[in-house]
Amino acid sequence: MTNTRFGRLGFIGFGKMAESIVSALGPSSETEAFRFISRSDGSRHRGSERGGIDCSDAPEKLFGSADTVVIAVTPQDLDDISPLFSQPPDALIVTLLAGISTDRIRAVTGSDRVCRMIPNIATAKRRSLVGMCFATTTDDESRERAHLLAAELGTPLPIPERLMPAATGIGGSGLAFAFRFAHALALGGVAEGMTYEQASMAAAAVLDGAAAMLLDGRHAAQLETDIASPAGTTIEGLQRLDEDGFTAAVMHAVRAASKKARSFEADLS
Ligand SMILES: NC(=O)c1ccc[n+]([C@@H]2O[C@H](COP(=O)([O-])OP(=O)(O)OC[C@H]3O[C@@H](n4cnc5c(N)ncnc54)[C@H](OP(=O)(O)O)[C@@H]3O)[C@@H](O)[C@H]2O)c1
């Protein structure tokens, strides 16, 4: 029953993100350790369908058994769940709420142990970037436990809280930018005579290889230079990419998404 990596896991809210985390971590004997509180019969039903996860309306059941409680409602629902925290919980609180500060979560939950995470939908494949920061009051053991959970979901990126909007821009929205790049790469293949299916699989394999090499810790600019042989094919393509504004366009996209995330933080604070 006990999950030795990050403790028994509970959820408040069982929507897309909670479901994606549960499907990433289970099914296993540890699935028995999941427990969640939800609002409607629909999400209760979805939750119990996914490996018999125990759903309850009683906060004392959730807080009595979970070592880590993931808040997975939408930011607009935060006020609605505040009555659940009539007693400050012992559990580590992991909040997924975009734009809501750790200070606000501490105030709502009464907990000093708060980790804020920004995952993306690649959680389901355990390949998400997980931007994460902590309330300053969070103890070391809780930080370690949150880090282990993030590592199960993909690549943890511990950052100061002021950089969470940037993590949203590069990690949350950046995944969509990567899909747009994959689509463009595939269209290039189609223009050269491949079917879209062939070109799309080729683009996926190329991105997979690029990600694996980058995750080894190598520098993108160095890898790019290694590929581009003198007077070869790659340098021709790289020149065209930048003549067409590729680098500036991607930087603008990350900055625009991060700016929007900052404006959400300001609106919600
Ligand atoms: N989706 C993403 O890619 C993504 C990425 C990063 C962060 N996030 C963050 O993750 C959080 C969840 O996102 P999501 O996409 O999973 O949202 P979602 O699919 O709308 O799920 C929200 C869940 O919260 C439940 N809920 C709402 N009010 C409740 C209450 N008072 N008591 C108990 N449960 C309640 C809803 O229940 P019902 O189904 O019964 O209404 C639903 O199951 C958000 O804060 C979002 O900012 C999402």
> pLDDT for 157-171, tens place per residue?
999 999 999 999 999
Q: How far is residue 228's CA from residue 225's CA, in Å, rounded to a whole number? A: 5
Q: Which secondary-structure segment (H or E) carries 173?
A: helix 173-191
Q: CB neighbours of 17 closer than 8 A, spacing ≥ 6? A: 72, 96, 119, 123
What is the rounded distance in angstroms from the CA atom of residue 230 to the CA atom of residue 116?
46
What is the Å distance from ligand 1's center to 18 Cα? 8
Residues in the chain: 269
CA torsion through residues 49, 51, 63, 73, sign: negative
Query: Is there an atom of ligand 1 within 6 Å of 43 CB?
Result: yes
Contacts of 142 (CB under 8 A, 6+ apart): 92, 113, 115, 134
Residues 6+ positions from 97 with CB-CB distance below 8 Å = 71, 73, 74, 75, 78, 105, 116
The pLDDT value given to residue 268: 74
- 18-22, 176-180, 189-193, 223-227: range with lowest mean pLDDT: 18-22
With a 6 A CB cut-off, is 57 part of the ligand 1 pocket?
A: no
| Contact between residue 123 and residue 145 where contact means Cβ atoms under 8 Å apart | no
CB 34 within 8 A of CB 53: yes
Range in 79-88, 187-196, 197-206 with the lowest mean pLDDT? 79-88
Q: Which two tokens stand for residue 1?
A: 């029953």
Domains of the chain: 9-159 (3.40.50.720), 167-266 (1.10.3730.10)
6 neighbors 145 (Cβ within 8 angstroms) = yes
DSSP-assigned letter for residue 170:
I
Q: Which residue has the higher pLDDT, 31 or 21?
A: 21
- 46 vs 250, higher pLDDT: 250
**Ligand 1 binding pocket includes 40 (Cβ within 6 Å):** yes
Q: Are 121 and 128 in contact (CB under 8 A)?
A: yes
What mean pLDDT is predicted for residues 242-250?
97
Three-state secondary structure call for residue 216:
coil
**Tokens of residue 156, six digits:** 């943890």
Instruction: Please report the pLDDT score of residue 29 as a whole number.
Output: 46
Residue 2 banded pLDDT, cuts 50, 70, 90: very low
3-state secondary structure of 228: coil
CB 10 within 8 A of CB 91: yes
Q: How far apart are CA 171 and CA 176, in angstroms?
A: 9
178 exposure class (CB count in 10 Å sphere: 0-12, 13-18, 19+): middle
Res. 103: pLDDT tops 90: yes
Q: pLDDT tens, 45-70?
A: 777 776 567 787 778 888 888 889 99
| Candidate of 21, 37, 74 to mutate for ligand 1, largest count of ligand atoms within 8 Å of Cβ | 74
Select the more confidently predicted residue: 161 or 3. Answer: 161
Place of tokens 């939908």: 121
The preferred substitution site among 37, 49, 94, 96 for testing ligand 1, maximizing ligand atoms within 8 Å of CB, is 96
